Chain A
Amino acid sequence: MLQSIIAYGLTMGAIYALIGITYNVMFTASRVFSFTAGVLGMLGGVLGSLFIRRLGMPVAFGFILTLCCGMAIGIVTEILTVRPVLKSLDQHLYVLSTLAFALLIQQFTAIEWSTEPQPFPRLLNIGPGVFDQQFWLPIAACLATVVGLELLYRRTLIGRAFLAIAEDNYAARALGLPEQALRMTSYALAGAIGTLAGFAGGEVLLAFFANAPMLNFYGFVPVALGGMGSNRGAVIGGMALGLFQQAANFLVGGIFASVAVFVVFILVLLARPEGLGGATAARRV
């Protein structure tokens, strides 16, 4: 049982962490949390299943096409739902606009794809057992993403420009950085990461439209607990969440696992609203 807890826990944890990173990448570029993070994860599974299983494309081709779709949705999210409301950030209209867009995609998927969970194709046929691909694929995807982002942010010019925008939007613009283009790129990047999460975890999550709200919630928990914008916090928080949830799942049953996660989430946030990682509150007056 311990084996299952760890295997499933780390797998789900990796998926949650990836969705958390998706939130973060969008947040650092725009100071906006978007409801499309969970939708991107859901689409990773649905599009992967559509391209590879239903349309019979080669795995590699289907994978790349899925990520491209994710990037396209990321860019549309930025243009349609974020850019128009950035001017009035304090009114929180972005919560509504991104929620509306996420619901549009989710409902479209439910109607045009299926309201029932559909199987996701096996990609590499390694398994079964604890080292089955369904377990290590999401973990590998998560590791690759974290390392890739770290290299991007630390070693490349465009990555440093991302950091500059995140640190001080106005100063970055004053330096002549193309803020808008960088924000769009960030959203495209987030789109790729989100769909990667759903694609890598496709066998565990299946291709199911209702994964979107589920991932929205469980993907946001590591962000809230680990501190906004912190990818390291998201990975640690995600893994901890996954292990905790699966442990509760195996020990006391699935429903109480959800309740336990929810209660812990609320209690931690009430005690430390800025997250365990900690970030200072903005000046109000």
Chain B
Amino acid sequence: MTDTPVSSSAAITGGAAGRGLAARLEALWPYLALGLAAVALPLSGDTYWGIIATRACVYWVLVAGLNLVVGFAGQIAIGWVALLTLGAYTASVLTAGTATPALSPFLALIIAGVAGAIVGLIVGLPALRLRTFYFAITTLGFATIVTQIALAWQSVTGGGVGVPGPLFPGWFSSQWGFYYLCLGLAALCTWMTANLAASRFGRALVAIRDAEVAAEASGVAKPAVLMMVFLFSGAVAGVAGGLFASLQSYITPDAFTFDLSVLFFIAILIGGRGSIIGPLLGTIILTVLPEFAAPLVAWSTFLYAALLLLIVLLMPGGIADLIDYKNRRPLEQHRDIVPRPEMVAGILHQAGGNQSLTLDDVALSFDGVHAIDGLDLEIRPGEVHGLIGPNGSGKTTTLNVISGYNAPDRGAVRLGGEPLLPGASHLRASRRIARTFQTPRLIGAASVLENVMIGGTIDGRATFAESLLSFPRHLQDERMLRDAAMSALAVVGLDALAAVRADRLQHSELRFMEIARALMLRPNFLLLDEPAAGLSAEEIRRLGALIVAIARVGAGVLLVEHHAELIFDICDRVTVLNLGKVLAAGTPAQIRSHREVVSAYLGA
């Protein structure tokens, strides 16, 4: 997410329109330069390079879609050549009319795209449930099978003999005409994926890759988002297949070696995950490279593999990181986080309601160990409720049950008397229940602003297709989410760091960033898991004031903490856990003088 074309820095600097335009140009110039060079290429009259450039365009149509799967969502799909094969054969067979009446090449190309979308979804489905390596192996298996089918289904595919590729009519049948067709589609794919990357869907994909748990807490429905990405990615791969067949003019199963899959996959990783311009450059480089070293053509896949190994071991960020000079500028050394509690009312104006969040007799054990054992708890709106207890007493497990990561063995979590579905963590966001984590869950490669915008995912209204095509609703969403995120950052005191990559922040800043992300939900209930851990005394005091301000607007806050002082300073009510059971509950004054609590936990 280092090169989203409508750069967020434009909005951050806000002020002068001229600076906004400059920032936009700064983000766009690589695309403009590449586009100009590509449009002007036919002037050279070099037909050999014309073919190479056409091939690069065709590859990019596929890679642009695959980039969303591999680079953004982090799903290791290594057998994507199967979809190219499918698209190529679909388009060729339909145009040639070996199995059906012969169709127009353009109609065949569209059908190839539809077929690609359907099969892309089927191939992608396992990714919803399986771990990384499993999915990688599944795509590998799929790639071997598609080639075998192409070989064996002779009556349709021509078997080892092959079929002629589609020939586009009229001007498009000329070499440069076909080149412009491919270039146009490549540009369209670039534009669409760039739009998507800068949308709540693109951010959700990266969040699924880097911080899946936080994505769910923000209401990202992983299956729905991934399924749409697989549909899109399959569709463009199918279209790329049709173009590839036309470029080859004759296709046999031999044309679709696994080496192509490797090329697509490696172009993305060399380019850098979560970038558009990086993989675009990667595709061009890998397509052109063998032309400069003819004796090396046989070794090209070997070299790609070597390159992949080097990239993974030495430069996991790829080209995109290399050209991301903005994030190499040093940050100010001694930064103070100064939250503005007085501004909380401005962003949480709708918070509150008079329903309580209650736990009734909740019990959960892991392998026979009772993590929580018959817990009753009531979090009231407008109050800060402290949850303390020694390590292993069940504090975080309680949070996990409330936010749906763990389904309780017994008992129920209710919001205003209505039970919350156990184990459905991504549905908590729509009930306006937000949380932070004991270890901050950040998307390191994304900017602080983007990290916070994730929190507002469920408030976006544009559909996946609207975001792809940058419809007005998408633009409205982006403006709304960006403004809301900037306000949330201003509240926690991090607005000056909005454009910085999140992994460059200090630990204490990450804690406040997570709170900003949670505030994006305009939460009725905010669950904080040890927010003061690792903060200085002064920062803890400011954090306390911020939490109180959030509660005073009407949100119920559940605060898990070890800092007894913070708990007793700001909580309206405190529950003490021990071994999964409530040891004591009451006002801070009552707890402070509770004999058992003092001897078991507070000491002296």
Contact = CB atoms under 8 A, between A and B. Distances in A.
Interface string A69-83: 000000000001100
Interface in A204-258: 213-214, 216-217, 220, 224, 253-255, 258
A103 B133 contact: no
A155 B215 CA distance: 47
A254 B145 CA distance: 11
A100 B129 contact: no
Range for the number of chain B residues in contact with chain A = 35 or more
A96 B131 CA distance: 14
A220 to B, nearest CB: 5
Nearest to A99: B78
Contacts of B78: 99
A147 interface: no
Given A104-B305, A107-B301, A270-B126, A262 B76 contact: no
A188 to B, nearest CB: 20
Given A217-B137, A269-B130, A108 B312 contact: no
A181 interface: no
B298 to A, nearest CB: 6
B589 interface: no
Contacts of A220: 137
Contact of A95 (B76, B141, B437): B76
Interface string A14-50: 0000000000000000000100000000000000000
Interface in B302-322: 302, 304-306, 308-309, 312-313, 316
B132 A97 contact: no
Interface string A140-176: 0000000000000000000000000000000000000
Given A103-B262, A217-B141, A259-B145, A108 B437 contact: no
Interface string B230-265: 000000000000000000000000000010001000
Contacts of B406: 285
Interface in A268-283: 269-270, 273, 283
A255 B327 CA distance: 52
A93 interface: yes
Contacts of B168: none
B488 to A, nearest CB: 23
Contacts of B152: 253-255
A64 to B, nearest CB: 29
A92 interface: yes
Interface string B199-217: 0000000000000110000
A111 B144 contact: no
B305 A100 contact: yes
Contacts of A259: 145, 149
Given A93-B312, A100-B308, A266-B138, A273 B149 contact: no
Nearest to B425: A285
Residue from B302, B304, B366 having most chain A Cβ neighbours under 10 A: B302
Contact of A284 (B131, B213, B308): B213
B400 A285 contact: yes
Nearest to B300: A107
A119 B587 CA distance: 82
Contacts of B136: 95, 99
A176 B138 CA distance: 39
A33 B138 CA distance: 14
A136 interface: no
B396 interface: yes
B298 A100 contact: no
B419 to A, nearest CB: 21
Contact of A100 (B131, B132, B309): B309
Contacts of A96: 76, 269, 308, 312
A103 B133 CA distance: 16
A113 interface: no
A254 B400 CA distance: 49
- Going nearest first, the 8 A-B pairs with the smallest beta carbon separation are A103-B305, A100-B309, A107-B302, A100-B308, A255-B152, A217-B141, A33-B133, A92-B132
6 contacts: A85-B312, A100-B308, A103-B262, A103-B308, A107-B301, A258-B145
Interface of B: 74, 76, 78, 125-126, 129-134, 136-138, 140-142, 144-145, 148-149, 151-153, 212-213, 258, 262, 269, 298-299, 301-302, 304-306, 308-309, 312-313, 316, 366, 396, 400, 405-406, 437
